[in-house]
Structures are given as structure tokens and as C-alpha cells.
Structure 1
Amino acid sequence: MNANDKYVTLADLEPRRAELTALRRQFHQHPELAFEEFDTASSVAALLTQWGFEVTTGVAGTGVVGTLKLGHSQRTLGLRADMDALPITEENAFGHASLHPGKMHACGHDGHMVMLLGAAQFLAATRRFDGTLQLIFQPAEERGFDSGAKRMVEGGLFDRFPCDAVFAMHNHPGRPAGQFMSRSGEFMAAGDRVFITIKGVGGHAARPHLAQDPVVGAASIVMALQTVVARNVPPDQTAVVTIGTIQGGKALNVIPSEVTLGLSVRSFDPTVRALLRNRITDIVQLQAASLGLSAEIDYVEGYPVVKNSEWETRFALQVAAELVGDDQVDGNMDVQTGSEDFGYMLQARPGCLVRIGNGAAQLNKMLHNPGYDFNDENLVTGAAFWARLVERFFSTAAVQ
């Protein structure tokens, strides 16, 4: 404990660096996909139990909640880390690369877990707070719909494990390691998924006049969809429409009977979100009809906007500045067009998602890249941040 600071500092967690690094690399070697995090959850639960937390498993399937109640305060706090990996085959050749082909921690969730576990171990040992701490290890953040946070909240997470506020952290490649970033209000986009099936009449490639070609229809629809943001969304609003998949046909001399498209749609404003849905639906149906085709649309509303609460954001950034200095904290980060299911938790409780820089060296290996890896330099910084946030939150100075 630093005699000049009554709250945890980086120096207090530094002796645990090697231990945290080994644990992070162990998680990286053994990735598990959404709602399949059985071994991961078991490891998390065993560590929390060893350190004296009351542990609840099987929350929303594979989720784990560790509860530590100290003193007599009625105040409660939730901290969340995600556990799942992605269906990606890792291309890294280092010693801790994934041992499971087709599965990889390409978004840094292995680091998210260990930063929170590092704080858990420290807080359980020092016991320097008065209140109830809920550590939420969530499954299936990467699923895109019907995700872990959604199932947890709908299953009564905050009734079973009360939280006055809830916080989360995500790594951010391209910014210096250990730098903290966030913003109050809308921070990360709502994310919707659209599945389109264009149906025609298949036939011989040499006789296209006897078929109704869904490939031409798909091409027409792809181009027309590029006008949605450019010509329908107000210039002062942010939106993204990306066609991520096109599938149809198996032979050069065959006109297929159907083609499928997959879209990712991002927005921040409810009115814009509704506009995007209406325009995409109209364009697809009308373009298909103009070519004598039909179209089926499955429009799946995904994660809500991550909207950070004002006080909780200011508080988290203040804690970060105390830990690493004002020059390493950005409280007005640009809005992020990626999506995060932590938005479901923020719909239920006030809170904040912060981002921690993963290092400039990662700039060309962004999230969800087969060459990505969490920066182990962040483990001590992230663990100290969480521990200090807990100590500060439960102090009288942290009361709104």
C-alpha cells in the first residue's frame, strides 16, 4: 500500500504481473464460443471461490457471478467482464496461441476476464471497502443477438444481484496501452442484422431469357443499398449499412434460383434506426419486384446503443486519471460504430463502459483479426483500475 494514497495504486498490483500474464495466456489457449464457456466459467468460479467470494454459476447458461459483501453499507456495485471467443482460426505462432482450431480470443475477452480477476484477488485480500460487490462474468457477448447480457438481464440479474451502478471495460487497439477512454451519453452503436433471400427462377446460363436471375437482383440491391446512408440519413447523424455476405450459385453455367445477402446495420438514434429499417426493406422489395423477383427479409434487431450515464462516466474517468494521470485519459472519445451488448445492462442500471488502449503496435491487427492478441501490459493497469474504482465507489467521497 502506497503511504501517500489510501486507495490502490499500480505499484500495489505490480507483484501480480507474472501471475496475471500466465492466467491470461491460459485463457487465450483455451477459447470457447458463445454459451459454450463451460471450462472458462469453471476456472473463473474456482478462483473466485478460492478467494472467498460467494459464487453463483449457471447464470444465463454459463455465466458466473461472484459476490463479496463487506461491512454494513447497503450500497452495491457491479463490474462486468465478457468470456466468449470468436469462430476464427488463429494465425499467431506464439506459444500461447489457441489450441482449438476455429476458435480464438480475437477480441481480448481473455484480458477482460483477467483484469477483473486480478482486482477480485486484490480486493478479497485487502478487504478495504464497505458494501456489496458483484463481479459479473458474462457469456456470449459476441453472438450479435439473444446474447449473454440480454439473457442475464431478462433472467433477473439485477434482482438476484442488486447493483446501484454497473461498469465494464473493453480493450481498444490503436491507442497507447494503459490509456483510458470513454464519453458520456451515446458511446457505441446499436447493431442490427438483416438476412435477405432473393428468389427467382433458375436456368441455363446460355438461356438467361428463360430464367429470372436472382444474381442480377442481388447486384442491383447491393448498389441501391449504398444510397440509404448517403441520401436518407441526416448528415449530422451516424449510421452504417454494410453488406457482409453474398451467397448464391455453384456452377458457371447455371443461373441459381436464389441468392442470399447478409447485412450489418449500425446507428445511434432511435429515429435513424427505424428509418434504416424502413428504407432497407423498401429498397429490397422494390428492386426485386422491378426484376420479376421476390425477396424475403428477416430483420433482427440486435444490441441497443451503449449509453453511458453522466455521473458514472465522470466518476470512472476521475478514477482513471488518479491512477495513470490526466494525460492518459480521454473523456471525449469519438462515438464507436461497433456494438456491445453491455447496452442491455445500461438500459437497466446506470453505468459506464470504458475502453483501455491496447497499444499502437496493434493498429494493423484490429479486433476480430486472426492475428490479434490482448496486450499483457494492460493487466496490472486494468486490475488496479477496477480495484481502485471499487474502493472509491464505496467511499463517502463517491456518493453522488
Structure 2
Amino acid sequence: MDFGTEIRRKAAELAAKAVARRRHMHQNPELSFQEQRTSAWIMSQLQEMGIPAQPGIGGNGIRAVIHGEKPGPVIALRADFDALPITELNEIPFKSCNPGVMHACGHDAHTAILLTAGEILWSLRRDLGGTVVLIFQPGEEKTPGGAQGMIAQGVLENPDVQRILGEHINPSLEAGTVGFRPGLMMASADELYLTVKGRGGHAASPHMVVDPISIASQIIVGLQQVVSRNANPEIPSVLSFGRILGDGAMNVIPDQVVIAGTFRTVDETWRADALERIQTMAVQTARAMGADCEVHIDHGYPVVHNDEALTRRARAAAEEYLGPEHVVDLPLVMWAEDFAYFGRRVPGCFYNLGVANTQKGWNSPLHSPTLMIDERALETGAGLMAFLAVQELRDAHESQ
């Protein structure tokens, strides 16, 4: 069978269904680890197709298994399905119906693509040599992430997965384009929560207070030294603070200030050293100014490291399916993904799917309240994911 031709035909045939699936999810987003309705809807889609599936893995996670009628290896495909606490600003017919919650990271597209790729592969099962496991993962946006729970409950076992593929939309790439990067692809990510405790009072009497706002400001500025003067310049590192809350008033200095931020890097030894430095510097800066600082660190996802051989094969398959002009090399980015945990257990490849349409102005970044995607990318993404699975089954079978 000419799998490429058949998969292209099926992807085109199912394109409208992929769009409908994505729009349903976009209109009905749910936050991390609260995705009960989304999980039930995914199960209904799989049941409608006749694909055997098991819910409740790692909470709201789902595993579906497509057994080919010929023997062969086991390949997994993964998508996530949680949304973000963002108020959507797009005025579209399928705008989020859940106030303050939005699929602003493309997980609606990821799930629609995996469902549609699964439908394609299910139609080809009589010609498949091996097994494809579909992993629908909750909770990617919130540490500790949903991947670890699914792995702990055996999502990669029985049948034992040998390789795994996943994709993420990229609004900086035009629709119809995909990107790959072998080796180190994405950073680790740790969450930082600092509480500076002083003594509040009247803003007109600063000599009678211990001003946590001033001290918190010194801590934020001082902590930039961790990266600028302690990190090896050859090791990419980012330290950013996105929240500072001092609940005082124009003339009221509060008792405490809460700060939240993130530290990201690509080296595990430096990661541990940097986190220790952050804690020590924050505590000592506050103490030197007469205050206390409590530091809580949520250790987040490790680096995403793509298996080089698997990624080279996937890139070559993408060139075959889409044409070399539609496949690009990706730079290292400081985003983070709990797909990293899957890649620590079995060889993995995480790649990007272009969804931008610059002419229409659809190129807002991820996590933006105005994120829009060119839905033609859903056909590309579903067909490519199915083709990558088929090619990897064949390559893995031939290498055994």
C-alpha cells in the first residue's frame, strides 16, 4: 500500500471533522486537572470510531490502542487537552464559553489532531505492522503535570511502548510548515514563590516600618545577578518574575509582599546550583534589611531532549509527506513541556506544527488571549502524525 497517498486522502476527507473537534474543545475549555467533561468527550469520540480506550489513567487521562493485524513494534502518539486561566479576547462563533478559561496554548488543536490521526490509523489497521498507542494527557499546564501520573499508572506498558511522538503548535511558523530539532529542544522550568515579611504601617512614617515592598524590589533586582554573574554564558538561562502583590494602598505599607516567578535552564547541574543561590540570596537580602523571606520552589519539568535518531527519521518522513520546503530546523527555546518525562522513559520526538496565517494577522504568541490558528493546519497535523507513526512502525520493524 502507498501509505502516503492513502493518508493524504483520508486527512483531506476528515479535515472538516478535525475542525469541528477543535472548535468544540475551544468553546469548552477546562483548567488543568479539572478536565472531566473534556475527558468524557474524548472518550465519546473514540467510542464512536470504535477504537478501544481506557479512561482514568493518571486522573483524567485516556489511553487508546490500535493493534495492527500484522506483528510489529509499539509506537505512542501523545496530545494534551487542558486549558489556561486566560480570558479570551477573540470574537469568534466558537469563543470560550467558560469565563476566564481559554485554549490559548493550542491543546484543543493537539487533541483534535490526535483524534483524527487515530481515526486515519484505525482505518488502516489491517495493513499496519505493529501497534499504535494514543495518549490523551491532562494537566500539562500545571506542575507536577499529567505525564508523570499517567506513566506511574502504566500508560507506556502492556503493550510496552518503544518510541513516542508528540507535537505542539507554533504560531511563529506558517500553516503547512513543521519544525524539528534533534537533541536538546526545550528548557527545564521551576516555579518560584517568595513571601517577604516585614512590618506594615503609615507610608508617611517609613522609619517605623519594615517596608516589604522596597525589600521585595531589592530582591527581584538582586536575583538577576544569579543569571548575569553566576551562569556560564554557554548555558542558556532565564529568570523572570511575573507577579508581585503588595496589598497596601497609596499611603499604607503592607506587612508582606508575595512574588512569583520562573527559572529555566538546560543544564541539570547548574539548575540545582541556581535554585540554591536564589533561595540563599533572597533570604539573606531580606534579613539584611530587617525582614524575613520565605522561599518555596516547585521543581517543574526537566529539559525536553529529542532522541536524535528518531528525530532524524521523523524529519525525513515529514519531508516525504509534505515536501522538504515545508520542513524547517527549530531553535532551542526556553519553553517547557512535561512531554520530557515520556522522553526519559523511551526514545521520544517532540516537533512543532505551524499554525500562523500572517496575511490574516493570525500570529499572536502562545498563552495570548488573542491566539488564533489557521485551521488548515489541522489537516496537515493529523495526516503527518499518522504518516510518522506508520513510517516509524516500518522503520522499527526493519531494524529489529
With the shorter chain as reference, the TM-score category is over 0.9
Deviations 1:59-111 (A, max 9, x none): 11111111111224241111000011111111111111111111111111111
Q: Taking structure 1 as reference, are residues 399 and 336 closer, same or farther at Cα in structure 2, changes over 3 Å only?
A: farther
2:101 pairs with 1:87 = no
2:343 pairs with 1:346 = yes
Offset of residue 12 of structure 1: 3.5
Q: Distance in 1 between matches of 2:314 and 2:27?
A: 31
Match of 1:75 among 50, 73, 76: 73
Contact between 1:182 and 1:313, CA under 8 Å: does it hold in 2? yes
Alignment of 1:57-76 (within 5 A): 57-76=55-74
Offset of residue 261 of structure 1: 0.7
Q: Distance in 2 between matches of 1:9 and 1:59?
A: 29
Offset of residue 252 of structure 1: 1.9
| Secondary structure at the counterpart of residue 245 of structure 1 | strand
Contact between 2:33 and 2:59, CA under 8 Å: does it hold in 1? yes
Greater CA drift, 41-50 or 24-33 = 41-50
| Secondary structure at the counterpart of residue 135 of structure 1 | strand
Unaligned runs of 5+ in 1: none
**Partner amino acid, structure 2, of 1:365:** S
**Partner amino acid, structure 2, of 1:65:** R
Q: Distance in 1 between matches of 2:17 and 2:216?
A: 53
- TM-score scaled by length of structure 1: 0.95
Contact between 2:362 and 2:373, CA under 8 Å: does it hold in 1? no
| Secondary structure at the counterpart of residue 14 of structure 2 | helix
Offset of residue 275 of structure 1: 2.4
Contact between 2:63 and 2:155, CA under 8 Å: does it hold in 1? no
- Matched with 2:273 is 275
Q: Distance in 2 between matches of 1:154 and 1:359?
A: 36
| Secondary structure at the counterpart of residue 174 of structure 1 | strand
Deviations 1:287-334 (A, max 9, x none): 11121111110011101101101111111111111111112112x311
Greater CA drift, 371-380 or 350-359 = 371-380
Contact between 1:180 and 1:354, CA under 8 Å: does it hold in 2? yes
Q: Distance in 2 between matches of 1:139 and 1:374?
A: 21
Offset of residue 360 of structure 1: 4.8
Contact between 1:186 and 1:307, CA under 8 Å: does it hold in 2? yes
Q: Distance in 2 between matches of 1:249 and 1:25?
A: 39
**Partner amino acid, structure 1, of 2:16:** A
Q: Distance in 1 between matches of 2:171 and 2:312?
A: 23
Contact between 1:198 and 1:218, CA under 8 Å: does it hold in 2? yes
- Matched with 1:369 is 368
Alignment of 1:1-400 (within 5 A): 8-127=6-125, 128-143=127-142, 145-330=143-328, 332-361=329-358, 364-395=363-394, 399-400=398-399
| Secondary structure at the counterpart of residue 103 of structure 1 | coil
Q: Taking structure 1 as reference, are residues 61 and 297 closer, same or farther at Cα in structure 2, changes over 3 Å only?
A: same
Percent of matched pairs sharing the same residue:
36
| Secondary structure at the counterpart of residue 172 of structure 1 | strand
Q: Distance in 2 between matches of 1:279 and 1:397?
A: 45
Cα RMSD for the two superposed structures: 1.7
| Secondary structure at the counterpart of residue 332 of structure 2 | coil
Offset of residue 148 of structure 1: 0.6
Q: Taking structure 1 as reference, are residues 313 and 398 closer, same or farther at Cα in structure 2, changes over 3 Å only?
A: farther
Greater CA drift, 159-168 or 298-307 = 159-168
Q: Taking structure 1 as reference, are residues 390 and 247 closer, same or farther at Cα in structure 2, changes over 3 Å only?
A: same
Offset of residue 397 of structure 1: 7.0
